[in-house]
Amino acid sequence: MAQSVTLFEHNPLQLVLGGILSPIDVAYQTYGTLNEEKSNAVLLCHALTGDAEPYYASPADKGWWQDFIGSGLAFDTDKYFFICSNVLGGCKGTTGPASINPITNQPYGSQFPVITVQDIVRVQKALIDYLEIPHLKAVVGGSFGGMQATQWAIYYPDFVDNIVNLCSSLTLSAEAIGFNHVMRQAIINDPNFNGGDYYQGTPPDNGLKIARMLGMLTYRTDIQLAKAFGRETKQHSEVWGDYFQVESYLSYQGVKFLDRFDANSYLRLLRALDLYDPALDFDSEKDALSRIKANYTLVGVTSDQLFKQVDLHKSKQRLENAGVPVDFYEFHSNFGHDAFLVDYTFFEEMIKKGLAKGDSPN
């Protein structure tokens, strides 16, 4: 069970695009032990639909980074103290559209404001301050979490030593924004969406299910799908139903998603992903990126169909043009974008290197 704290009770969070939020509940979890100097703290930033618990001690449960966290592993709990929180706008314990609006005493629904990565990072910083952690050894994130990690280095250049960005460019491509647009349209055109105020009735499950199916195709690769399903068909299936095995797989993933995610949160976080721009709040992107003092590690997967390698190479160049040295690694994995969640062998060395930057040699 994640821990929880209420923040911004007396000083509302001023959102970058306008509006305020107060109070804000934040779900978080910690792993490992904070050392006496409080110098080994690492913030883990989750991807789009993650939560505050990347690891569970119980073998009956499985977190989204379950196989990466533990003694001697990539995220070594013998060396570091890890903090992970559910993002603002989420639906797994942190204030989001399904939370109760203190003004109306009803779920926020359509009244929940548009949020940005910048807002999410400010809430994370408030949590770190609440925990009385004076400095972060590193901020690590994959995909949407990689954007959060980058923003940490921009907003708080003297607060964090290392950034480890896994499979995320500085900004989202036009193609990826297009995929997100189609996913949003599936949700808002569901007859049950009701403008986002569906909590007293039937949720837009069909729209959310379709959105998730499309999203899954951007996380996987053609090689992986061909190996797993090929053109195999299901027995006793109608031609317009889940006729092929790959269709059955996508339908299963769509239905499974309904048990753990809220449509309004999906809409808000997809838009935050689209809107991320390091230049927000600054005169130019170079002005923003040139603030970065942290050691910056960027890792990409050549088969990634969401954050493509051309975009990561451009991001590397943009960082370097702003004076930020970047350690850049890339490799192939049949898992595509999802590799940073499941392909431990490829990522272990890069994560360990990124976390250890600045350490004194033995």
**Active-site positions?**
143, 304, 337
Which amino acid is located at 219 in the chain? Y
* Rounded CA separation 255/262 (Å): 12
Q: Which of 150, 151, 159 is CA-nearest to residue 128?
A: 159
CB 294 within 8 A of CB 326: no
CB 165 within 8 A of CB 327: no
CA distances from 47 to 15, 150, 246, 325, 331 (A): 21, 14, 24, 25, 20
- Token digits for 188? 């808002």
Which residue is associated with the tokens 């003092």? 293
* Rounded CA separation 181/188 (Å): 10
Which amino acid is located at 309 in the chain? Q
Measured in whole angstroms, how far is the alpha carbon of residue 243 from the centre of its chain?
Answer: 33
- Helix pair 263-275, 117-130: axis angle to 10 deg: 100
